[in-house]
Amino acid sequence: MQSFDFQTFQMYLRTNQIFDRFGLDRIGVFGSFARGEAFRDIDLIVDEDISYQQFILFRDTLQRDLKVPVDVMLKRFAEPIILHRAMKDVHYATRYYE
């Protein structure tokens, strides 16, 4: 994927069964990508608990497929100030169509 937006990203997650593969119901996107601005990476927040191995596989899968750096933050380990800033502009990609 060269050029894409949030909707394209959400469709990628659904069609590639990322939610099912990693046991996730939703994935938060924040930062410049979520705001529709120029971006160099995609910042994600995951609310659900996943193992360290799943975390690494999740990140590596997205980076390989999307060909862009991906930063993943697990909500339960997030620094409160960073989490507060991220939650201001988070958009959730969801497993189910609304």
Q: Is the confidence at residue 1, as pLDDT, over 50?
A: no
Q: Are 28 and 47 in contact (CB under 8 A)?
A: yes
Structurally, how many domains does the chain consist of? 1
Model confidence at 80: pLDDT above 90: no
Is position 39 within any domain?
yes
pLDDT at 4 over 90: no
Residue 77 within a domain:
yes
| pLDDT exceeds 60 at position 72 | yes
Q: CATH code at 88?
A: 3.30.460.10
* DSSP summary character for residue 38: -
Query: What sign has the CA pseudo-torsion 85, 89, 95, 98?
Result: positive
Answer whether residue 85 is part of any domain.
Answer: yes
Domain that holds residue 27: 6-94
Q: Say what the pTM is.
A: 0.89
Task: With a cut of 80, say whether residue 5 has pLDDT above it.
Answer: yes
User: 1 in a domain, yes or no?
Assistant: no
